[in-house]
Amino acid sequence: MTQTLREMLDEGLVRAPGVWDGLTARLAEQAGFAALCASGFAVSAAMGYPDAELYTMSENLAAVRTIREASDLPLVADIDTGYGNAVNAARTARRFADAGVQAVFMEDQVSPKRCPLCVGEDVPLLGEQEAAGKVRAVVDAADGAMVVIARTDARGDEALRRAEAYVAAGADMIMPVTKTFASSEEWARCHKTVGVPLVATLTASAWTERDFTPEVMDQVGVRLALLPTQVLMAVSLAAQRTLQRLAAGEPPAEVSADAMPHHAFVDLIGMDEVERMQQTYLPASL
């Protein structure tokens, strides 16, 4: 890793795809991305759960550690609501910093959170002062080791007030969710109001995925663009179709013919590197 995330953000827009394990981290790095996002939506889905904070902080941290072991790229991690009050959030921040995470984002929902794109109504939020206190606790615990991103699930003018309060509490960046504002003009107003860079989630099927081109993001002050669900949705569809074909009795060889060849996958997951280490460190007789 030649650049830190802070250095990359100072230079311009950073795009980070959502990953949830070592394999997806390797794939993203090999595709040419310069940063990764440990997507809470994807980490939860990999456990078979919806994005409703059903996993624990320790389970999320374990997934993050697996990603970090597979890739040295700067990692942005989703810490949901911080898994409790300000004291819990501070402990969460310390643990994630110790794991080598370079940025975390925390939302202002009441715990347990719910993905706003998965429910029809507005989600319940903490009071503004309590939410700002949690942001301050994370900033203090991170002690400069991580970029602290404050996410708000509020809307309109309330979102602007909360964003200002979170910046006053020390947040480096503000993340409005896709439901927070309805236009790029409102995003630009938010950036002007808070005076810090914004983070956009270009979630699959959301309006931001369609409308937020690099040019638009530059105009509205977005410096970090997360792609949290594209890989997850693509992988899930491919796996679903493959399993359906196998379950229907299609010959496995025909199904495999449409997939990545075995040798290419072995190369992807680093077998050559392991073999080199075997030859370097183990006796030839083994």
In a domain, 177, yes or no: yes
Amino acid identity of residue 164, one-letter, is E
Residue 78 pLDDT > 80: yes
Residue 244 has pLDDT above 70, yes or no: yes
Mean pLDDT across the stretch 82-109?
A: 97
- When divided into structural domains, the chain yields a total of 1
* Residue 270 maps to a domain: no
In a domain, 163, yes or no: yes
For the CA atoms of 184, 153, 102, 148, what is the dihedral angle to 10 degrees?
100
Q: 96 with 127: CB under 8 angstroms?
A: no
- pLDDT (average), residues 115-141: 91
**Above 60 in pLDDT, residue 248?**
yes
**Does residue 248 fall inside a structural domain?**
no
Q: Which pLDDT score, from 0 to 100, does residue 122 have?
A: 84
CATH number reported for the structural domain that contains residue 161 in this entry: 3.20.20.60
Tokens 């950073």 belong to 14
In-domain check, residue 268: no
User: pLDDT digits over 147-203, tens only?
Assistant: 999 999 999 999 999 999 999 999 999 999 999 999 999 999 999 999 999 999 999
DSSP element (H, E) containing 6: helix 5-11
Task: For the beta carbon of residue 157, count every other beta carbon within 10 angstroms.
Answer: 10
pTM of the complete model: 0.94
The pLDDT of residue 286 is: 59
Q: Above 90 in pLDDT, residue 121?
A: no
Provide the residue range defining the domain that includes 100.
Answer: 5-235
| DSSP output for 48-109 | T--SSS-S-HHHHHHHHHHHHHH--S-EEEE-TT-SSSHHHHHHHHHHHHHTT-SEEEE--B
- Which two tokens mark 96? 């994630």
Residues 259-276: what's their mean pLDDT? Answer: 93
| pLDDT category of residue 2 using cuts at 50, 70 and 90 | low
